[in-house]
C-alpha cells in the first residue's frame, strides 16, 4: 500500500472502513482494481465500444484473465501460455 499515491491509500482505507474492515485497505484496492478491469471490459463489449477494433473479444478476455492471474500470483508455472 505504501507505493500507492496518498489519494488512493485514503480512498482504499475509507472503503475498507465502510465495509467494516472485511477487506483490509490493500486487499480492497486489489479487489477494486480487478473488478474495474473485468467489469469495464464487459461493459465495453455489451455497449459495442470495441467493435471498431475487435470482431471477437474472447481472446481479449482471456488475455485480461491471464494478466489478473499473474498479478494475483495465481498463475501456474506448469500451465502453458498461449
User: What's the pLDDT score for residue 2?
Assistant: 81
Q: What is the mean pLDDT of each run of 10 residues along the chain (82 residues)?
A: 91 97 95 96 96 96 95 79 60
Encode 5-54 in three state secondary structure: CHHHHHHHHHHHHHCCCCCCHHHHHHHHHHHHHHHHHHHHHHCCCCCCCC
User: What's the pLDDT score for residue 81?
Assistant: 61
User: What's the pLDDT score for residue 20?
Assistant: 97
Distance of alpha carbon 54 from alpha carbon 30, whole angstroms: 28
pTM metric for this prediction:
0.80
User: What's the pLDDT score for residue 80?
Assistant: 65
Amino acid at each position: 500500500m505504501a507505493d500507492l499515491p496518498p489519494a488512493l491509500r485514503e480512498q482504499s482505507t475509507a472503503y475498507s472502513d465502510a465495509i467494516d474492515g472485511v477487506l483490509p485497505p490493500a486487499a480492497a484496492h486489489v479487489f477494486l482494481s480487478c473488478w474495474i478491469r473485468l467489469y469495464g471490459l464487459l461493459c465495453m463489449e455489451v455497449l459495442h465500444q470495441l467493435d471498431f477494433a475487435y470482431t471477437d473479444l474472447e481472446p481479449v478476455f482471456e488475455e485480461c484473465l491471464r494478466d489478473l492471474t499473474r498479478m494475483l500470483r495465481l498463475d501456474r508455472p506448469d500451465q502453458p501460455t498461449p
